[in-house]
Structure 1
Amino acid sequence: MTEAENNAATEFSHAEWNAANLDKFNNADKSRGESERVRNRAMLLINETTGKTNRNQDDINFMLRERQRLVQSWRCELQEELNSNVRETACLEEKLRQLEHALKQTERPLRVATDCLQYRSSRQGIDLVKDEVEMALDAEVACIRDYQEKMREAVDLASSQIDSNKRKQSQLQEDLDNKDKALNIDTECLGLKNTSKNINLQAGVEQIEASGSEPESWRKHSLKNREESHATRGTSAQVRNDIENLLNTACSDLVAHWNRTNQAFKQRINECQDAHTQLTGKLNMIQKEIREQDTFIKKIKQAILGKGGPMKVSQTRLEKRSHRPDVESCNDAPHIGLVSEINAIQQNVDELNEMLKSATDARVDLLNNKIVLERDIEIKTASLRIDKNKCMALRCTFPYQTKCDIASKNPVFYYVYYNIV
C-alpha cells in the first residue's frame, strides 16, 4: 500500500473524533464508577467478614471455654470416683490381708485339736471310749475346716474383686488421661491469637473428621466408666462386709466350740478323777481285806494243826485199848467215846479244811480284783495325764489372733479377748 493510500485510510471526520473521545470519556467514567462500587462493596464485605470472623472466633473461644468447663466437670467426677475406687480397693486389700492372716491362724487351734485327738488315741483299755470329749473335738475340727474352706473361697472372691476394681481404675485413669490431653489441647487452642507466632495455614485440615465420638456418646462413655466403677465399688464393699462378718462369725464359733470342748474335758477329767478316787478306795479296801484274809487263813491253819494233838491222843488211846484180851475187849463207854471223839475231830478238821479252801479261794479272788483295780487305776492315771496334763495344757488360752495389719514393715497385731472356759 502506498503512502497516499495510508493517509487516506486513517483519516476520520471531526465528529467521529469527538464521538470517539466522548466514548472513551464515558467508558473511563463507567469503569471508574464500577471500580468505586466494587471498592465500596469490597469495603462492606471486608467489614462484614471481619466482624463475622471476629464473632465466629469469639464464639469458638466461648465454645472452647464451655467445652473445657464440661470436660473439667467430668474430669472432677471421674477423679472423685477413681479416688473412691482406690480407697475402697485399699480397704479391701487390707481386709484380704486380715482374712489371709485369719486363715493361717486357724491352723493353730486345728493343730491343738488334732494333737488332742492324737494324744487321746493312746488311751488304754476301757478308757478308749467315744466320749463327749471325742465328739466335741471332732466337731471342733469339722468347724475349723469348714471355716477354712469358707475363708479360702472368700480369699479367691476378694482377689478377683480386687482385680476387677483395678480394671475399673485403669478405665477411669485412661479416661482421665484422655481428658487431660484434650484439656491441654483446648487450652492451647484457646490461647492462640491472630498475632500468635505458632500459627500456620493447614490446608485441608477442615476435611479431617472428628469421628471418635459425638457429644452424647462422649458423655455416655464417661458416664458408663463412672457407673461401672461405682457398681464395682459397691460390690467390693459388700465383699468386704461379708469378709468382716465371716471373720467375726468364725472367731465366735471357733471360740464357742473351743469352750464346749474345754467344758467336756473338765467334765471328763472330773469323771476320771472320781472313778480314780473310787477305784483307789476299793483297792485299799481289797488290800485290807487281803491282809485280814491272810490272818484268818493263818488262824484256820493253826486251828487245823491244833487238832493234831487231840487226834493223836484219841487214836493212841483207841489203839492201846484194842489190845485188851478176850472178853476185856469190850465195846464199853470209853471205846464208844473215843470213836466218837475221833470222828468229831476228823469232822472238825474237814470243816476247817473246807473253810481254808474257801478262804484261799476268796484270797485268790481278792488278788485278781486287786490286779484288775491296779490296772484300771493305771489306765485312769494315764487318761488323766493325757486329758489334764497334755490336752488341757494346750487349751489354756485360745491360740488365735483375730486381725493383723501387715501393710507396714512393722506388723501390728490386734487381739480380741474372749471368755475362755
Structure 2
Amino acid sequence: MKYSIHQWNQHNNAKIQHAQRARTIVESLRDEATRALEETSKHTKNTQRAVTTRLNQRVQKVDHWQGEIEHKLHELNSEIDTLLNLKENVNEALKATVEPVKINRHCQALREQRTDVENVHDIVEKDLAKEIDVILSCSDVLADCIEQITEQIRKNRSARYHLEKDKKDKLTAHSIDDEASQLHNNMANAQRRPLTAKVTLEGYSTPSQWQDFTEVNVAKAEKERDNSRDLRGVVEGILKRTTENMTEANRKCSFQFSERVKETKIAKKKMTSELDHVMQEVSALEKSILDLEEGIKAKEGSLMVCETRMEMRQARPNYEYCVDSPHKQLRAENSQINENISRLVELLHDATVQMKDLKRQQLELQEEIKIKENTIYIDEVCCIAERESISFKFF
C-alpha cells in the first residue's frame, strides 16, 4: 500500500510537531533545571554557610565556657592547695598541744610528791588544772577544724572533678565542631553518611539543658570556693585565738609557779632564821643548865658546912645548948640554902623541860625546812625547768 502526498505531508508535519513539542518541553525543563540548579546551589551554599556560622558560634560558646571552667578550676586548685597548707598548719598546731599536756600532767604528778602541809591545794594547782583544760579544749577545736577542712577539700575536689569532666567533654566537642566548621565539599573526609540523618534525638540535651549543666557546675565551684574562703577565715581566727588562749594560760600558770616558789623560799628563809635562833637558845640554855647544876653542887658544900655546924653545936651540954645568935643564924642559913637549892632545882627542871621543847622545835624546823626544800626542788628545779620548753606559736 502506497501513501499519498497528502499523507506523506501529514506524517512529516506530525513528526515535526511532535519534535517541536518535545523540544519545547525539553527547553522548559532545561530552563527549570537551570533555575533549580541555581536556586538549589544558592540555597545549599546559604544553608551550609548558615550551618558553618552556627558551628563557629557554637565553638565560640564552647570557648567562652571553657574559659569560665578554666578560671574556676584555677581558683579551685588554688583553694585546695591553700586548704592543704592550712590543714598542715592546723595539724602542726594540734601536735604542738601534745607535749604541753604531757608536761602539765607530769608537773601535777610531781607536785603530788609534796609532803605534809606542803601538799596544799594552792593557786598553782588550780592554774595547772585550768591550763590543761584550755589546752585540751583547744586541741578538740583544732581536731574539729581538721575534719571541716578535710570535708571542704573533698567537696572542692568533687566540684573540680565535675568541672574537669565538663572541660574534657567541651574540649572534645570544641575539636569536633571546629573541624566540622572547616569542612568543605572538596575535602576527602566529606562523604555520604545517609544513616546519620535518621538518628533520633532521644537522649540528647537541649541548648538550655547544656548551658544549665555547665552553669550548675560553675555555680557549685563558686559556692565551694566561697565556702573554702569562709572556712579559711574561721580556721585562721581559731588558730590565732587558741594560740593566744594557750599562751595566756601557760603564762599565768608559769607566773604562779614563780610566785609560789618565792613564797616557799621566804617561808624557808624565815624557818632557817628561826632555826638559827633556836640553836643559839639551845646553846645558851645548855650553858644555863650547866651553871645551874654547878650552882646546886656549890650550894651543897655550904649546906654540908651549915648542917655539920648545927650538928656539932647540938653537943653543947646543959645550959650551953642555948638558942643563941649563931644558932638562929645557922638555922636561917640552912633555910636559905635549901630555898636557894630548891629554886635552882626548879629552874633546872624548867630548863630541862624547855631544852626538850627547844630540841623538838629544832627537829621540827629542820624537818620543815627539808619539806620546803623538797617543794622548791619539785616546783623550781623539776616543774619550772621542764615548763620552759613549752612554746605555743601561731602556725
State the partner residue of 1:57: 48
Alignment of 1:211-222 (within 5 A): 211-222=203-214
Alignment of 1:172-183 (within 5 A): 172-183=163-174
Cα distance in structure 2, aligned partners of 1:258 and 1:132? 13
State the partner residue of 1:41: 32
| Deviation digits for residues 191-228 of structure 1 (CA, Å, limit 9, x no counterpart) | 22111111221123112244431111111111111111
| Deviation digits for residues 76-111 of structure 1 (CA, Å, limit 9, x no counterpart) | 011100011000110010010111011111122222
Cα distance, 1:15 vs. partner? 4.8
Could you tell me which of 385, 389, 392 is aligned with 2:377? 385
For structure 2, which runs of at least 5 residues remain unmatched after alignment? none
Cα distance, 1:336 vs. partner? 3.5
For structure 1, which runs of at least 5 residues remain unmatched after alignment? 1-9, 404-421
Could you tell me which of 84, 103, 109 is aligned with 1:112? 103
State the partner residue of 2:315: 323
Could you tell me which of 224, 242, 252 is aligned with 1:260? 252
State the partner residue of 1:292: 284
Cα distance in structure 1, aligned partners of 2:115 and 2:198? 97
Cα distance in structure 2, aligned partners of 1:322 and 1:12? 231
State the partner residue of 2:386: 394
State the partner residue of 1:102: 93
Cα distance in structure 1, aligned partners of 2:298 and 2:312? 22
State the partner residue of 1:282: 274
Cα distance in structure 2, aligned partners of 1:387 and 1:241? 40
Could you tell me which of 113, 118, 123 is aligned with 1:127? 118
Q: Does 1:237 align with 2:229?
A: yes
Cα distance, 1:20 vs. partner? 4.4
Greater helix fraction, Structure 1 or Structure 2: 2
Cα distance in structure 2, aligned partners of 1:50 and 1:119? 102
**TM-score normalised over the length of structure 1:** 0.89
Cα distance in structure 2, aligned partners of 1:119 and 1:238? 44
Cα distance in structure 2, aligned partners of 1:14 and 1:209? 69
Question: Does the Cα contact within 8 Å between 2:55 and 2:177 map onto a contact in 1?
Answer: yes
State the partner residue of 2:160: 169
| Deviation digits for residues 103-139 of structure 1 (CA, Å, limit 9, x no counterpart) | 1111222222222222222111111111111111111
Cα distance, 1:67 vs. partner? 0.5
Identity of aligned residues (%): 26
State the partner residue of 2:140: 149
Cα distance in structure 1, aligned partners of 2:272 and 2:355? 19
Could you tell me which of 9, 27, 31 is aligned with 2:22? 31
What is the RMSD computed on CA atoms of the aligned residues?
A: 1.8
Partner SS, residue 204 of structure 1: helix
How many residue pairs match? The answer is 394
Partner SS, residue 196 of structure 1: coil
Question: Does the Cα contact within 8 Å between 2:243 and 2:393 map onto a contact in 1?
Answer: no
Question: Does the Cα contact within 8 Å between 1:168 and 1:228 map onto a contact in 2?
Answer: yes
Cα distance, 1:14 vs. partner? 5.8
State the partner residue of 1:5: none
**Counterpart residue type for residue 286 of structure 2:** D
Range 166-175 or range 115-124, more displaced: 115-124
Question: Does the Cα contact within 8 Å between 2:128 and 2:253 map onto a contact in 1?
Answer: yes
Cα distance, 1:326 vs. partner? 4.1
Cα distance in structure 2, aligned partners of 1:363 and 1:378? 22
**Counterpart residue type for residue 39 of structure 1:** R
Q: Does 1:342 align with 2:334?
A: yes
**TM-score normalised over the length of structure 2:** 0.95
Cα distance, 1:172 vs. partner? 0.3
Cα distance in structure 2, aligned partners of 1:272 and 1:289? 25
